[in-house]
């Protein structure tokens, strides 16, 4: 999926997290939503934007490598939890944003190595990144996010 789709999906799951954990303070909802949205784009950022390390990282892990493992999502939750109290919702928001990225990329071909170190790739469909299916997912996530935003404040 494209970065914009990941960010929209991350914001949507952040809003859902805020709603279902009972956050009603607008600042807390915004912080949890922003954290999940940013965390949803970081896995690809780690793979393609580290100057001087791009070829090394892709050579060792491939595209959708270490940053697309479920173990990495757990490590993000654990690491952020050491920096922020769990009650803030930030550690969980970072983890669900990261997980939304892994799930969405599982809809692209060839899928993701989510279950590393097992040699299997999680592949749920063959949606082409940037194609019509990607755009449809972005729209669906956007509508879901709006639904959750309205529900969070009612």
Residues contacting residue 130 through CB under 8 Å, at least 6 positions apart: 2
Condensed to tens digits (0 to 9), the pLDDT of residues 69-88 reads: 888 888 888 988 888 777 77
Q: Look at the chain and count its residues.
A: 154
Q: Are 12 and 148 in contact (CB under 8 A)?
A: yes
| Domain residue ranges in the chain | 3-152
Condensed to tens digits (0 to 9), the pLDDT of residues 136-148 reads: 888 998 998 888 8
According to the model, what pLDDT value does residue 128 have? Answer: 83
Residue with tokens 């190595």: 113
Rg for the chain (alpha carbons), in Å? 15
């Amino acid at each position: 999926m494209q970065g914009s789709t990941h960010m929209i999906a991350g914001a949507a799951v952040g809003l859902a997290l805020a709603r279902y954990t009972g956050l009603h303070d607008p600042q807390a909802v915004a912080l949890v939503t922003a954290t999940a949205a940013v965390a949803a784009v970081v896995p690809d950022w780690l793979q393609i934007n580290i100057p001087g390390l791009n070829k090394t990282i892709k050579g060792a892990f491939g595209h959708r490598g270490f940053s697309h493992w479920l173990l990495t999502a757990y490590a993000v939750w654990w690491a952020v939890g050491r920096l922020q109290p769990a009650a803030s919702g930030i550690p969980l928001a970072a983890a669900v944003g990261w997980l939304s990225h892994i799930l969405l990329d599982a809809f692209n071909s060839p899928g993701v190595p989510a279950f590393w170190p097992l040699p299997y790739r999680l592949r749920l469909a063959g949606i082409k990144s940037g194609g019509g299916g990607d755009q449809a997912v972005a729209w669906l996530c956007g509508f879901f996010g709006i639904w959750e935003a309205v529900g969070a404040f009612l």
